Amino acid sequence: MGVYVDQPQHRFGWMLMCHLLADTPTELHAMVDRIGVARRWYQHSASTPHYDIAKGKRALAIAHGALEVDRHELVAIIRRIHDAIRRRTTVGLAWAEDLRCTRGFAQT
Alpha-carbon distance 17 to 88, whole Å?
31
- The confidence score (pLDDT) of residue 15 equals 80
Cβ proximity of 52 and 12 under 8 Å: yes
How many residues does this entry show for the chain? Answer: 108
Alpha-carbon distance 93 to 18, whole Å?
26
Sorted by where each begins, the domain ranges of the chain are 3-102
Alpha-carbon distance 14 to 73, whole Å?
27
- The confidence score (pLDDT) of residue 108 equals 40
Residues 6 or more apart whose CB falls under 8 angstroms from that of 59 comprise none
- The confidence score (pLDDT) of residue 45 equals 82
- The confidence score (pLDDT) of residue 103 equals 61
- The confidence score (pLDDT) of residue 107 equals 43
Taking the chain (108 residues) in runs of 10, the rounded mean pLDDT of each run is 87 85 95 95 88 94 97 94 90 86 54
- The confidence score (pLDDT) of residue 105 equals 46
Other Cβ atoms closer than 10 A to 96: 14
Alpha-carbon distance 103 to 43, whole Å?
10
